[in-house]
Amino acid sequence: MSNFVRLAAQSELPPEGEAKEFTLGDKVICVANVNGTISAMDNVCLHRGGPLGQGVIEGDKVVCPWHGWQWDPKTGQAAHNPGAKVAVYPLKVEGGEVLIEVIEV
Protein backbone atom coordinates (compact mmCIF):
# COMPACT_ATOMS: atom_id res chain seq x y z
CA MET A 1 0.00 0.00 0.00
CA SER A 2 1.31 3.46 -0.82
CA ASN A 3 0.20 6.89 0.17
CA PHE A 4 1.50 10.41 -0.02
CA VAL A 5 2.24 12.26 3.22
CA ARG A 6 3.39 15.81 3.90
CA LEU A 7 7.16 16.23 3.96
CA ALA A 8 7.57 20.02 3.95
CA ALA A 9 6.28 23.31 2.65
CA GLN A 10 7.28 24.07 -0.93
CA SER A 11 9.12 27.16 0.38
CA GLU A 12 11.41 24.88 2.44
CA LEU A 13 12.79 23.02 -0.59
CA PRO A 14 16.49 23.49 -1.31
CA PRO A 15 17.48 26.02 -3.97
CA GLU A 16 18.85 24.77 -7.28
CA GLY A 17 22.20 23.05 -6.88
CA GLU A 18 21.72 22.13 -3.21
CA ALA A 19 20.54 19.22 -1.06
CA LYS A 20 18.75 19.34 2.27
CA GLU A 21 17.65 16.92 5.01
CA PHE A 22 14.02 16.46 6.06
CA THR A 23 12.79 14.29 8.92
CA LEU A 24 9.84 12.01 8.24
CA GLY A 25 8.90 9.95 11.27
CA ASP A 26 11.99 7.93 12.19
CA LYS A 27 13.62 8.44 8.77
CA VAL A 28 15.67 11.27 7.36
CA ILE A 29 15.13 12.02 3.67
CA CYS A 30 17.61 13.75 1.36
CA VAL A 31 15.87 16.17 -0.98
CA ALA A 32 18.05 17.41 -3.84
CA ASN A 33 17.47 20.15 -6.39
CA VAL A 34 19.46 19.20 -9.49
CA ASN A 35 19.02 21.65 -12.35
CA GLY A 36 15.56 22.57 -11.06
CA THR A 37 14.39 18.96 -10.64
CA ILE A 38 13.48 18.00 -7.07
CA SER A 39 14.22 14.41 -6.01
CA ALA A 40 13.99 12.53 -2.71
CA MET A 41 16.06 9.57 -1.55
CA ASP A 42 17.31 7.92 1.62
CA ASN A 43 19.70 10.21 3.47
CA VAL A 44 22.18 7.49 4.48
CA CYS A 45 25.19 6.82 2.23
CA LEU A 46 25.79 3.08 1.90
CA HIS A 47 29.54 3.52 2.26
CA ARG A 48 29.84 4.61 5.89
CA GLY A 49 26.44 6.10 6.71
CA GLY A 50 27.21 9.68 5.75
CA PRO A 51 24.33 12.21 5.60
CA LEU A 52 23.62 12.76 1.89
CA GLY A 53 21.39 15.77 2.59
CA GLN A 54 24.43 17.58 3.99
CA GLY A 55 26.38 16.92 0.81
CA VAL A 56 26.81 18.99 -2.33
CA ILE A 57 25.56 18.69 -5.89
CA GLU A 58 28.21 18.09 -8.56
CA GLY A 59 26.83 17.84 -12.07
CA ASP A 60 23.71 15.72 -11.66
CA LYS A 61 24.89 13.79 -8.57
CA VAL A 62 24.58 14.23 -4.80
CA VAL A 63 28.05 13.88 -3.25
CA CYS A 64 28.33 12.46 0.28
CA PRO A 65 30.15 14.94 2.53
CA TRP A 66 32.10 12.21 4.34
CA HIS A 67 33.97 10.31 1.62
CA GLY A 68 32.77 11.69 -1.70
CA TRP A 69 30.58 8.84 -2.93
CA GLN A 70 28.28 10.17 -5.66
CA TRP A 71 24.61 9.23 -5.94
CA ASP A 72 22.08 9.76 -8.73
CA PRO A 73 19.04 11.34 -7.03
CA LYS A 74 16.70 10.10 -9.79
CA THR A 75 17.67 6.41 -9.58
CA GLY A 76 19.43 6.12 -6.22
CA GLN A 77 22.41 4.42 -7.90
CA ALA A 78 26.00 5.03 -6.87
CA ALA A 79 28.00 6.56 -9.73
CA HIS A 80 30.89 4.09 -9.39
CA ASN A 81 28.73 1.00 -8.72
CA PRO A 82 25.25 0.72 -10.28
CA GLY A 83 24.58 -2.27 -7.99
CA ALA A 84 24.70 -0.01 -4.92
CA LYS A 85 21.38 1.81 -4.54
CA VAL A 86 19.57 3.88 -1.96
CA ALA A 87 15.78 4.13 -2.01
CA VAL A 88 14.21 6.90 -4.10
CA TYR A 89 10.79 8.31 -3.24
CA PRO A 90 8.21 9.95 -5.52
CA LEU A 91 7.39 13.57 -4.68
CA LYS A 92 4.57 15.87 -5.69
CA VAL A 93 3.63 19.43 -4.84
CA GLU A 94 0.02 20.33 -4.09
CA GLY A 95 -1.18 23.63 -2.71
CA GLY A 96 2.29 24.71 -1.62
CA GLU A 97 2.92 21.44 0.25
CA VAL A 98 5.54 18.86 -0.71
CA LEU A 99 4.17 15.33 -0.47
CA ILE A 100 6.27 12.18 -0.49
CA GLU A 101 5.09 8.68 -1.31
CA VAL A 102 5.71 6.26 1.53
CA ILE A 103 5.47 2.58 0.72
CA GLU A 104 4.36 0.37 3.58
CA VAL A 105 5.36 -3.23 3.36
Closest alpha carbon to 79 in 47, 101, 48: 47
95 within some domain: no
CATH number at residue 41: 2.102.10.10
Closest alpha carbon to 34 in 13, 16, 51: 16
104 within some domain: no
Beta strands of 25-96 (E only): which ranges? 27-34, 37-42, 56-58, 61-63, 70-71, 88-89, 91-94
Q: What DSSP element (H or E) covers 103?
A: strand 97-103
Domain hosting 62: range is 12-89
pTM of the model: 0.93
Q: What is the pLDDT of residues 47-75, one digit of tens each?
A: 999 999 999 999 999 999 999 999 999 99
* pLDDT at 2 (0 to 100): 63
79 within some domain: yes
